[in-house]
Amino acid sequence: MMITYEKKYLMDTYNRYPIMLVKGEGTRVWDSEGNAYLDFVAGIAVNSLGHCHPALVEAIKKQAETLIHCSNLYWNEKQIELARMISENSFGGKVFFANSGAEANEGAIKLARKYASLKYGGKRYKIITAKNSFHGRTFGALTATGQEKYHKGFGPLLAGFKYVPLNDIEALYEAVDDEVCAIMLEVIQGEGGIHEATPEYVKAVRKICDENDLLFILDEVQTGIGRTGKLFGYEHYGVVPDIMTLAKGLGGGFPIGAIVAKEDKAVFKPGDHASTFGGNPLACAAGIAVLNEVTKDGFLEGVDKKGKYFREGLETLQKKHKVVKEIRGKGLMVGCEVDLEDASEIVLKALEKGLLINSVSHNVLRFVPPLIVTEEEIDEALQILDDVLSEIRF
């Protein structure tokens, strides 16, 4: 009945799976029929602490009883505290809070243009991004996204973007001209199929930005907050961006996004940018609870260890099932490319057996389980995948 109502009252913007989730705890969710599922989607890398983590629930409950929202016309202590935690655990920048990754990326685009306008009088405004990237679905973020399939039907798009192949340093050098103000990058392309930027490429981006006075923007919406086994993805590469965007795992399930910028690059003034809900006390209380857990001794090392354990298991399946082509990713952000035009049958069969996964770029299975997942639960997921791959006729 409720799914019938969904067709009647909700816009048709999602290809939804035929279940309705009603409850979650830890790494598992339950549907309206009482069926349990091991969740390796985690809200698309959002439920960093799993479902209904006691520390997160308590923080939200306590804040909801105290102060849910106040305008940014006034200070609120939770916003200041979360900004401090992000800054002190990253590269010491200043923070602006939004409500999503797309909003954070919109703000980063605006900040880059504002910085260039102040320094170069409006002569620099173009931003280079990677082909196959994904930065969101609002207009600036959509244009920054280097995938034509997301652009169709929405033109004309925002002017001033160039796209180059990921990991092609020569193409990057060729794209830089006197009108470019920034390079925007994901160190691992999430929606693009879990493709990693090489260390050489990331270092080259930093070098090119330094040589040409460009801003280096890292979209850490999916890679941030421990997903890769480091608190932030850039820490794997020995470089520091000028601007970083966060969202997804930061709120552990509660909507929040953030822009982090080096102090000398944080040039917004009152009136330049704003968000009615951005940095509200409830969202920031959630973010504080998440960071308190993720930065505990041994937590990130555990994510890295479990990520390697999972990859080893997938590599074992690769030897057994010829349809598995390649395993990619870092930490608990893992992609499994299969030799199929469409991996949807694998996703549906896994769902039927109690495992939630999804596919990106049609033929890449994406695994982004809660960071609290155990090795026993990873074994359970691997067994279900093994069963599915054994049953399907390719």
Binding residues for pyridoxal 5'-phosphate: 101-102, 134, 219-222, 276
Six-digit token string for 67: 């102060």
d(CA 245, CA 259): 5
Known catalytic residue: 268?
no
Q: Which residue has 């270092």 as its token pair?
A: 203
Q: 177: buried, middle or exposed (CB in 10 Å: 19+, 13-18, 0-12)?
A: exposed
CB 47 within 8 A of CB 63: no
Coil, helix or strand for 169?
helix
Q: Which of 248, 265, 306, 330 is catalytic?
A: 248
Contacts with 194 (C-beta within 8 Å, 6 or more apart), sequence order? 188, 328, 329, 333, 334, 335, 360, 364, 366
Q: In Å, how far from its chain's centre is CA 125?
A: 25
d(CA 2, CA 128): 44
d(CA 2, CA 157): 37
Helix, strand, coil % over all residues of the chain, rounded to 5? 40, 20, 40
Known catalytic residue: 134?
yes
CB 79 within 8 A of CB 97: yes
Greatest pairwise CA separation for the chain in angstroms: 62
- The phi-psi region of residue 392 (left if phi > 0; otherwise alpha if psi is between -120 and 50; otherwise beta) is beta
Q: For the chain, first and last CA: distance in Å?
A: 35
Binding residues for N(2)-acetyl-L-ornithine: 137, 275
Six-digit token string for 120: 């170069």
The residues with which 330 forms a beta bridge, in sequence order, are: 333
- Of 232, 176, 171, 221, the residue nearest 201 (C-alpha): 171
Cis peptide before 54 (omega within 30 of 0): no
Q: Which residue has 């794209």 as its token pair?
A: 175
Q: Which of 219, 230, 242, 310 is catalytic?
A: 219
CB 357 within 8 A of CB 39: no
Q: Which of 40, 96, 134, 232 is catalytic?
A: 134
Q: Which residue has 């060729």 as its token pair?
A: 174
d(CA 380, CA 192): 27
Catalytic residues: 134, 219, 248
